[in-house]
Structure 1
Amino acid sequence: MPMECPVCGRTIDPQTAAASATYDAQTYYFNSEVCHDRFVADPGSYAGNTGS
Structure 2
Amino acid sequence: VLHHLSKLKKTKSPGPGVIHRRILIEIKEIIAKPLSVKYQHSLDRGQLPDT
Common topology (TM > 0.5): no
- When normalised by structure 2's length, the TM-score is 0.30
Higher strand share: 1
With structure 1 as the length reference, what TM-score do the two structures score? 0.29
Q: Which structure has the larger Rg?
A: 2
Larger RCO: 1 or 2 (CA < 8 Å, sep 6+) = 1
